[in-house]
Chains A and B, each alone.
Chain A
Amino acid sequence: MSKPQSITLHINDEDHDVRVQTQQTLLSVLRDQLYLTGTKLGCNQGVCGACTVLRDGVPTRACLTLAVDSTTFAITTIEGIVPADDLLPIQQAFIDAAAPQCGFCMSGMVLVAKSLLESNPHPTREEIREALSGNLCRCTGYTKIIEAIELMSTRSA
């Protein structure tokens, strides 16, 4: 083990000073040091998408991102998009469409949906499927997740 280094990460509009090892992923810092456990640990291999965060607005795997290599980016986790004591419209749409089951994949799904709808407010079903293609869900069969995004799209003018 090497000596930990002090770095500053920009997460959810706040600066966080943390001490990390070079090989430590952003995911491990988020969950184990900052207790931002909304970001999930699934495969730790880049396959499942449970660890999705936004890096400068772009959905990114926190398990494939080294913390030391992340200091210049604005990181947004699921905790960072939620207004205090409230839900985002996209989260309400997920609830109204009955999209969540166990919920494990949901922070990744919601962040991908948010990022998609910001750049493309009225995506086609094909575009939604493509955007979600890197996020696995073992419960829902995806249909209601796609419907939630379509619902959100019809609700925004």
Chain B
Amino acid sequence: MRYCCPTSIEEAVAILNTDEDARCLAGGATLVAMLNAELLSPSTLVSLRAIADLDGIRHTDSGITIGAMTRHAVVANDQRLNNGLTVVRLAAQEIGHPAIRAVGTIGGAIAHADPSADYPTALLAANAEVEVIGSSGARTVPAGDFFQDYFTTALAHGEMITSIHLANADPGTVSSYFKVARSDGDFAITSMAFCGNFDGSTCTAARVAVGGCASTPLNVTAVDKMLIGAELGSDQVTMAAQALADACDPIDDVRGSADYRRLLVKRLLPRVLQRAIDQGSN
């Protein structure tokens, strides 16, 4: 296994395109665990550590851009991620524990595409865009198209993630994240993310994403529509929660049964909405 540590994105892309079996190395939190378990044996590791352009959070007129190599701890502490984007900060805070948040990166987390991970669900609710680059240039993939299956993304061979872009939300947008795990620091049994607007306790815009309940994080347009005009605590919310649970396709695993996950989806929707309202009034 070869190791290289390029200092520019162009150099990294060139290596990824000359070596069939090369892989990016970001924080290593997932990749090195897989090497230790002998689940992977790439021909080359392309460490992204020395590429300054991939690191950090930038504000632009159109929104916020998070570099692929930005550590979970940095996102978790960035108070500029607020209102409609709070959901991304809250998700980062929920990942693992301090030693994992100090090394793990947003690019690594979404490239791995574990449907129980925290970022994919939050980024789907926030309607984030993933900026990727390959030998034929850069392109932008909406979060909804990026996650394609268990541990499978829209990244083509030789492509890498450069950043995640979050567009400015409409004024008054609020957001929240709710994770249920067996213990603090574990992956979610089920998680839910919300971005939207309220007039008092009536929902006027909604984008809900569920994690841990299908091969990818899930956003169901029909459920988002059902929530518009729904008042918190009303039957309309209960019906939307049922529809969301019906759209899920969870599995039984060591963290919980499929039935338990569907039950959690029904319980989490009202809570994630309440949390978003509370956050808006703070």
Contact = CB atoms under 8 A, between A and B. Distances in A.
Interface stretch (A98-106, A127-135, A145-153): A127-135
Contact of A45 (B27, B37, B45): B37
B3 interface: yes
A156 interface: no
B220 interface: no
Contacts of A68: 3, 47
A2 B185 CA distance: 35
A45 B2 contact: no
16 contacts: A5-B3, A21-B1, A25-B36, A44-B33, A46-B29, A52-B99, A59-B99, A60-B102, A64-B27, A65-B28, A66-B25, A66-B28, A66-B32, A68-B47, A69-B3, A69-B47
A63 interface: yes
Contacts of A69: 3, 5, 25, 28, 47, 49
Interface string A53-73: 000001111011110110010
A23 interface: yes
B99 A61 contact: yes
A38 interface: no
B180 interface: no
A22 interface: yes
B3 A60 contact: no
Contacts of B45: 22, 66
B56 interface: no
Given A22-B2, A63-B33, A65-B103, 13 more contacts: A25-B32, A25-B36, A44-B36, A45-B33, A63-B32, A64-B28, A65-B28, A66-B25, A66-B32, A66-B45, A130-B98, A134-B100, A134-B185
B98 A23 contact: no
A65 B100 CA distance: 11
Contacts of B49: 69, 72
B229 interface: no
Instruction: Please indicate which of the listed interface residues A23, A65, A130 has the most CB atoms of chain B within 10 Å of its own CB.
Output: A23
Contact of B32 (A58, A64, A130, A134): A64
Contacts of A63: 32-33, 36
Nearest to B40: A23
Contacts, number: 75
Contacts of A49: 99
Contact of B99 (A22, A44, A134): A134
A151 to B, nearest CB: 22
**Contact-residue bracket for chain B:** 20 to 34
B3 A134 contact: no
Contacts of B25: 66, 69
B96 interface: yes
A2 B97 contact: no
Contact of A133 (B1, B5, B35, B97): B97
Contacts of B2: 2, 22
Interface in B37-57: 37, 41, 45, 47, 49
Nearest to B184: A133
A34 B139 CA distance: 46
A133 B183 CA distance: 10
Interface in A60-117: 60-61, 63-66, 68-69, 72
Contact of A22 (B1, B36, B184, B185): B1
A69 to B, nearest CB: 5
A2 B44 CA distance: 10
A23 B99 contact: no
B98 A60 contact: no
Interface in A7-27: 21-23, 25
Contacts of A44: 33, 36-37
Contacts of B41: 23
Given A22-B1, A23-B35, A64-B32, A46 B98 contact: no
